[in-house]
Each structure stands twice: as C-alpha cells, then as structure tokens.
Structure 1
Amino acid sequence: MMQKKKLLDIVRDKIRVKHYSISTERTYLYWIKYYILFHNKKHPIEMEKAEIELFLTYLATQKRVSPTTQNQAFSAILFLYKEVLGVDTKEWNIQALRAQERKHIPVVLTRDEVKKVIENLDGIYNLIVSLMYGCGLRMNEALNLRIKDIDFGFDKVYIWDSKSLKDRTLPLPQKLKQRLLAQVQIVSELHKKDLADGYGTVYMPYALEKKFPTAKHETKWQFLFPMKNISQDPRSKVFRRHHIHPATLGRNIKVAVQKARIHKRVTSHTFRHSYATHLLQNGFIQELLGHKSVETTMIYTPCRGGDEQIEGVQFA
C-alpha cells in the first residue's frame, strides 16, 4: 500500500516544480512548519484568515521580526494555500499588525575606499568584487554567472533571471577583460580535470537538464567562479562543482574591509550602492541596475551632484 505523502513533502515538491531556489525552499518550509506548530499542529486546510492574521501579528508584536522577515512568512503561507492547497485567499483580505518598517540609507564607499577594499582581496575574490562594482551586480548575479554569460566579442555581460525574473545586458569593464579571459581558461582546465575524475556536471536551471541532457557536461555552462572543491547537491544528491558560496565571499569582503581600516558597515551590496551613486553623477541608471521601479533607483539621488565625473563604468 502506497504511503500518503506528508504536507511538507508536498510543499517541497511544489516548490521544486516552480523552480524556486534552494534558499527559498528552506525559508518557505521553515515558516510553514512554524505556522502549523504555532497553531498546535492544526492542519492548514482547517485554518483561514483569522489564524493567518494571528500568526503574523504574533511575529510583529511578540517576536519583533523585521518587515522583511514578516513578509517572508506571509509569502510562504500564501504559497501554501494557493499553490499546495488550492485555496484562493484574495477574498480573505488578510489584515495583520505589520512589523515597523525602517528606512535605511544605503552605505556608499568613495572611489578611494572601493579601491582599498579591492586591493585587500586576493585572487578570485578580488576579481568577483571588481566585477560587482564595475557592473553594479548583486552578489547572486555575479556568483551565478556562467562562462557563456560573458560575451568577449561584443564586450557584454548577460544577466539572466535576476530579481523579478528580469534579463539585462551590461557593458563589460575593459580593465577586467583579460583577467576574465584568464578565468575562463582556468575554469576550462578545471572542468577537464573534473570530467577525467568522473564528475564535471553542473546544475542546470529550470527544465534545461531534461531538454538538453548533455549540456550539463559542457564547458560553457560551468560557473565562472566555481568552488575549490566538489560538493553534493542538496536536492539531487549528485556530486559536482557549484559556484562559490555567498557566505565565503562575504567573509572575504569583511576581512578586506578590516585590513583597509574602513569604519563603515560594508557588505557585498555596498559595491552596488557605490556603483549606482558614482554613476548618478553622469545620469540616470535604472536600466543598468535592473530595478523594477524608478523609486528603487531614486534612493541614490541625495548623493547626486559631486564634482567628479566618470566616463562609462569605472572601478578600482
């Protein structure tokens, strides 16, 4: 007799069918489980608007979570009802006490500070951060680059399925072109070794692995910034080489900032903020940043109007 699947297993399957990231999968499963436990393991199909509002209000008033965290929990619960249980929640008009939103002014580095941080980064981390600043990339956009995404003939960088599932192209910083060519060669040689050792496959997005079953072995699909070691994919359990972990890049940036003796709160996203602020001296950059809303880009406008001028994309 076939055993009935547990609810969280069904949620996990639905998330993977939707091709959500592993981090989104973990976040959604966490909040859905928390929601169920909060209501003493009552099945979600037996709960409606009141239970959702009670849980979200609890997060805001008792747990004092941030607005972002509360929104994550809300998104996970909506996914559960809409995608898994097939319940239309639009008519519920869910109203809960919202976590107090704080407006954060983006931390921006001067060009000299950017240069100092990059100079204190070694090897591949130096190249990644230089590219992030030179193109205004989000950290995940940089780490998810494949060899095929760098067009050396037309000097373009292609960003696929980024935030809001938007694609865009960016000018390739000329000062990085030779270093990136060298990085492609390094990855190509590493890929040959992996293939010889019985590995060499790479994670393929969406349904491409089924549509192009041999593509996962091809050099052009390999990550531009791969990990040093082979690791096991948490979903497929296949051993292969993934891209550098975000936490590893974050640690290297933190150490570099300390060495540069910069007393600002610097994260990987700070280089995107700095890129935006520096370019605003020459004009409007919503398209380059890939912002969905003009209001998102406008958070940088108070910094506009400096005396320095730049030509194109400049970086240390």
Structure 2
Amino acid sequence: MMENKPKFTPNPQLKLMDQVRETLKYYHYARSTEKTYCQWILRYIYFYGKKRHPKDMGEREIESFLSHLASAQNVAVSTQRQALNALVFLYRDVLQTPLDHSIAPVRAKRKRHPPTVLTEEEIQRIFAQMKGTHLLMAKLIYGSGIRLMECIRLRIQDIDFGQGQLFVRAGKGGKDRVTFLPRIIAGELHQHIERVKELHRRDLVEGFGEVYLPNALARKYRNAAWETVWQYVFPSKTRSIDPRSGKERRHHVLESGLQKAVKAAVKKAAIDKKGTVHTLRHSFATHMLENGTNIRMLQELLGHADVKTTEIYTHVMRKDLEGSKSPLDRIYDK
C-alpha cells in the first residue's frame, strides 16, 4: 500500500522497467504486487510489438489492450482490473501523466462459480493425512476462516490466547479484523509459538533476529523489528537475504509449502473434489452458516467488503430437507 510521501520522480537515466521497479520500491508496494505490475506493463508493451514507448501511447491504446484481454483471452473481471491498475500506476507514478477517467474497454464477463465445499467428514480425512506445522496451519485456516497469506503473515502478537481471538492485520483491502482462535488447537499453537520464541532467541545470540516491518512501523518503532511479539508465527526454517534491504532475516514460510501439503492430503484421502487451501476457508464459511451464524457476522469474520460476496455460500450450504422427497422417490413410493 502506498504511503503518504512526497511525489517521487524516478531516475530518467534508467530504462523504463528499472524506473517502474524503483518507483514500486519507493512506495513500498508488496513484492507480489511489484512482480504482477511489471508483468502487466511488459505485456502491454509487447502487445504493441515493442514499437512504441508507453509515453507515446495513452487511453486509446490501453482500451484496446484491455478489450483484447476480455474478448480474445477471456480473462476474469479481477484479472482485467489488475491489468488496468498496473497501467494506471505506470502512467500516474512513473511517467507522471495521469490517465483520465474515460477509459471504457470491453468488460470481462463476471463468472460466478459456486465454491467447492468439503464436508466435516472430508475435512477430518484430509487432516488425518497431514502432520506437523502444515497440519496446524490447515486447522487454523479452517477453524478461523482466514486466507492463506493472512495465516502465513501472522505475528506472535496477533494471537490472543486469553480472549480466544485471532487478529488479522492489513488483510485483503488493507483492513484489520478479528476472528476465532479455535479452542481445540490453542494448546498446540502455544507450544509451537514457544518453539518460535526459542528460535528467535538463538537468532539474537547469533547477531540476527530482525524481522521485516512495513516502513512506517519500522520508523515509528525503531527497535520493534527485534522484539519477540513482531516475529512471524510461522517462520522459515532458514534465514535469507532480503532482496530489498540486503539484510539477512528470517522471513515467513512460503505459501507453496502448505498448498502442496493440502493437495497431497486431498489425494491421499481419496476425495474426488478440487480441494485447496482456499477450500478450507470456503468450508469454514459454509459450515458456519449451516450452524446458524448470522450472515452479517460471517461477513465480518471473513473480511468481505460486500455481503453479496458472503451470500454465495448460501447456495452451497446443505439445506434442511427433512420431510421433503425427490419427485422421483414420490413416484415410486405411491
């Protein structure tokens, strides 16, 4: 997320993509956003055969590019919006020629697919095929409804054992929220955090122990990066060099580890559904509704900006069909 900083002007001696990366770093965009924006800007340039510099193009060319994504490549609405955001950043912050609001490309069609949901029995079968930290993370996601990256980015201070709560800081859309800390895993999670604290103590003894903090927090709390409460709940097994600062730090684990573990567990459990880490969140939401949770409360727990997003789970929850029969059964019961 961009901080409230004076307007930045990239070095004009650099090549365009180096200017883009320099500007992204200045405004402290996430590494994933930096990678995504660079990919879209390059696709935009290559779309016009590398024959024209973006500064010599504008709204008309952007419209054509975005329309091509929708009509020829059939991308999702969110993908088209992501491409637009990258190009708005390019013109506004790098080339410093902001676009007007008249861009009207062919819109990508919104496709609403009901989410895949696992039954409670299927959840148990998957968990039976997992172990260690990956199992703990999977239980936490299913038990609290948090997203994969929200789980991975948890800090020790975000876990409130006394209140049985879990705090999500700067989740999707930059919002904070509170959700459950499942009672059943509280003891296991507490033991895990004690091991993380010991790992942090060893890092400090070895002259390390600094963790990444957003730049504004790092400036405000100058010693916070070495404090235990700011350490990741799920840290990497090894320290690595931060590509931006050049410092050796212990970052959080990669999301791919849990993704692979869940995928393997679904296969071992012989479940013929497309089960992923996000399926655990879908299952949390659906099972909460089935157990009578108010949809507005569920919206808050999931961190949805619009209740319409939450309402999709009403289409996949099991309805109370007791006393009702299929018309086929009624025919043969006569």
TM-score, length of structure 1 as denominator length: 0.90
Say if 2:115 is the partner of 1:94: no
User: Which of 248, 259, 269 is 2:268 aligned to?
Assistant: 259
Question: Amino acid of the residue matched to residue 71 of structure 1?
Answer: R
Could you tell me how far 1:213 is from its partner in structure 2? Answer: 2.4
Among 10, 16, 33, the residue aligned to 2:42: 33
After superposition, the Cα gap between the structure-2 partners of 1:66 and 1:170, relative to the gap in structure 1 and judged at 3 Å, is closer
Do the aligned partners of residues 203 and 307 (structure 1) sit closer, same or farther apart at CA in structure 2, a change above 3 Å counting? same
Indicate the SS of the match to 1:243: coil
> Which residue type is aligned with residue 61 of structure 2?
E
Farther-moved stretch of structure 1 (54-63 vs 209-218): 54-63
**C-alpha contact (below 8 Å) 2:143/2:180 kept by paired residues:** no
The equivalent residue for 1:134 is 143
CA distance in structure 2 between the aligned counterparts of 1:111 and 1:305, rounded to whole angstroms: 12
Q: In structure 2, do the counterparts of structure 1 residues 158 and 45 end up closer, same or farther at CA, with 3 Å as the change threshold?
A: same
Match of 1:43 in 2: 53
Q: 1:303 aligns with which of 292, 316, 319?
A: 316
1:205 to partner: Cα distance:
1.9
Query: 2:115 aligns to what SS in structure 1?
Result: coil
Amino acid at match of 1:74: L
Which of 293, 299, 304 is matched with 1:286 structurally? 299
Match of residue 56 from structure 1 = 66
**Structure 1 gap ranges (5+):** 309-316
Deviations 1:252-309 (A, max 9, x none): 111111111111001111011000000112122111111000110000112345459x
**Which moves more between the two structures, 183-192 or 233-242?**
233-242
Segments of 4+ in structure 1 off by > 6 A? Answer: none
Deviations 1:33-54 (A, max 9, x none): 2212333252222211111122
Q: SS of the counterpart of 2:166?
A: strand
Q: What is the distance in 2 between the residues matched to 1:225 and 1:271?
A: 18
Partner Cα separation in structure 1 for residue 121 and residue 187 of structure 2: 23
- In structure 1, what is the equivalent of residue 79 of structure 2? 69
| Aligned counterpart in structure 2 of residue 223 of structure 1, from 232, 235, 248 | 232
Number of matched residues?
A: 306
Residue 282 of structure 2: aligned partner: 273
RMSD: 2.0
The one-letter code matched in structure 2 to 1:257 is V
- In structure 1, C-alpha distance between the alignment counterparts of 2:12 and 2:31, rounded to whole Å: 26
When Rg is computed on C-alpha atoms for both structures, the one with the higher figure is: 2
- State the shift of 1:242 in Å: 1.1
1:72-221 → structure 2 map (5 Å cutoff): 72-91=82-101, 93-221=102-230
* Corresponding position of 1:311: none
Cα drift, residue 156 of structure 1:
1.3
Quote the Cα distance in structure 1 between the aligned partners of 2:181 and 2:153: 16
CA distance in 1 between partners of 2:167 and 2:206 (Å): 31
- Using a 3 Å threshold, how does the CA distance of structure 1 residues 111 and 51 change in structure 2: closer, same or farther? same
Conservation of the 8 A alpha-carbon contact between 2:130 and 2:261: yes
Distance in 2 (CA, whole Å) between partners of 1:216 and 1:67 is 38
